[in-house]
Amino acid sequence: MAVFQYKGRDVSGGLVTGNIDAGSADEAATELVDRAITPIEIRKSKAAPKTAKAANDRSAGKKENLSAIESINSFLAGKKVDINELIIFARQMHSLTKAGLPLDRAFTGLQASMKNRVFKQILKDIVTSLENGMNLSSALGRHPKVFSPLFLALINVGENTGQLDLAFKEVGRYLELEKNTRKQIKSATRYPIFVMSAIVVALGVITYFVIPAFADTFARLGAELPFETRVLIAVSDFVVAYWVHMLVAVVAAAFAWRSWTTSAAGRITWDRIKMQLPIIGPVYERIALGRFSRTFGMVMRAGVPIVHGLGVVAGAVGNKFVGGRVLRMRDGISRGESLYNTAVHSNMFSPLVLQMISVGEESGTIDDLMTDVADFYDSEVEYDLKKLGDAIEPILIMFIAGIVLVLALGVFLPIWDLNSAIR
């Protein structure tokens, strides 16, 4: 262990100085980041501690004792990188690059403090790529499942313009907005999914266990059963006899659906159909257009050429059908058409949005106006998601009432006529 003298900034921006014991400058930087201190300067002190060797021995012993616990923690930390970890990563890199810390040391420090073993391995690979002379955007591009095209485009522009800290700040803002959108969607769909799951389970139990018991009782009585009861018993007999085949068919259909929606043509078709569905279709459309507007405004503000920027935006909207329309806009601009004309021919935007695009193109403030358009769509999505629960709730109630009515007619009518059946 050695003693390092450091200068850094705390969370409030104040200057902090002091000494820290660490095995290397990178370990010292990691320790400071864990303490919420952004290091500015780290240098080895001339005076080393007298008990350095003993401290090293104790540290080695602790590492051996904690190896099993660390393995368990790394396993529980997860096997993929979620959006929350990307947000934290972007914020930390914004602070470290703003402080002037070299990229390799910044990534090394973040790697040592990272709990997710997958993300930790990715950061290690990025450090190796940087040490081999690769630029940051190319090193991040080696992991396309974690870093989106928009993420890479903004980092590339930040590298070329010397504003890498602002690029990470912009990425963090975008990821935060994306996280809020996903949270709103999950909140709006949680109740309907829960109700439908409960209905499916209840119908399965009634069909497989309850109706056969009633069927045996009615058969022993020998009475003539109502039409509704005979239909329920026939359905129940079919499910009991062929439930294995039905389960295989459902699994096969799920795999076929997944295969179709992940194919190029199927994904485009499904994304187009989603925007035409009743009730939820307009929500999908506004989410996609809001993402387009925000990402397009971001790449324009970052200085990305408009043709290249539209290509990046097409992959960031999360809807292949809308992405195809954006690529058609890019092709039109490549032929010399104006942004407004290509937007009109895309048939995606309302007259108000088209007017804002026209004004932004003429005044040179397209980035600011597209951000305003994105805010408009986000507010519309938030309002639509709040209405979604109010619109789905009566539909679910009517559906449940219909199921209860069918079961009541099929199961309880013979019970009401039980006396006549006994006679």
Tokens of 352: 């108000």
Determine which helix (DSSP H) or strand (DSSP E) holds 16, and give its type and residue range.
strand 15-22
pLDDT at 59: 44
Is there a common fold for 83-176 and 195-423?
Answer: yes
* Other beta carbons within 10 Å of 126: 24
Q: Which of 65-74, 125-134, 248-257, 386-395 has the lowest mean pLDDT?
A: 65-74
Please name the fold of domain 195-423. Receptor-associated Protein (1.20.81)
What is the pLDDT at residue 417? 65
With cut-offs at 50, 70 and 90, classify the pLDDT of residue 122. very high
Across 288-316, average pLDDT: 84
375-405 pLDDT, tens digit per residue, is 888 888 888 887 877 777 788 888 888 888 8
Give phi and psi for 15, each to the nearest 5.
-75, 130
pLDDT score of 51 more than 50: no
| Per-residue pLDDT tens digits for 262-280 | 898 899 999 999 988 888 8
Task: Please determine, for residue 48, whether its predicted confidence score (pLDDT) is greater than 60.
Answer: no
Sheet containing strand 38-44, strands side by side? 15-22, 2-9, 38-44
pLDDT of residue 63 exceeding 60, the answer is no
Looking at 214-218, 302-306, 348-352, which range is the least confident one? 214-218
pLDDT for 109 beyond 70: yes
pLDDT above 50: residue 349: yes
Q: Which amino acid does the sequence have at 408?
A: A
CB 52 within 8 A of CB 46: no
Across the range 21-37, mean pLDDT stands at: 72
Q: Which pLDDT does position 422 carry in this prediction?
A: 58
pLDDT at 68 over 60: no
Inter-CA distances, 140 with 126, 212, 404, Å:
7, 60, 55
CB neighbours of residue 332 within 10 Å: 18
pTM for the complete prediction? 0.67
Quick one: pLDDT band at residue 421, thresholds 50, 70, 90? low
**Residue 4 CB coordination number (10 Å):** 24
Average pLDDT over the chain reads 80
Q: What is the per-residue pLDDT for 255?
A: 95
Higher per-residue confidence, 97 vs 18: 97
The set of long-range contacts for 343-348, using a CB threshold of 8 Å and a minimum separation of 24, is: 348/289, 348/292, 348/322
249 falls in which pLDDT band (50, 70, 90)? very high
Residues 215-250: b if buried by 16+ CB within 10 A, e if exposed: beebeeeeeebeebbeebbeebeebeeeeeeeeeee
Lookup result for tokens 């590492």: 63
What ranges do the domains of the chain cover? 1-51, 83-176, 195-423
Q: Which has more confidence, 231 or 50?
A: 231
Class of domain 83-176: mainly alpha
Contact 290, 371 (CB under 8 A): no
**At 136, which amino acid appears?**
L
CB 218 within 8 A of CB 414: yes
Going by pLDDT thresholds of 50, 70 and 90, the confidence category of residue 282 is confident
Quote the pLDDT of residue 395: 82
The answer to whether the beta carbons of residues 104 and 130 sit under 8 Å apart is: yes
With vertex at residue 394, the alpha carbon angle to CA 390 and CA 395, rounded to the nearest 5 degrees, is 110
Name the residue with higher pLDDT: 175 or 78.
175
In terms of average pLDDT, the best of 40-54, 194-208, 237-251, 310-324 is 237-251
Give 250's pLDDT tier (boundaries 50, 70, 90).
Answer: very high
Q: Report the pLDDT averaged over residues 312-328.
A: 86
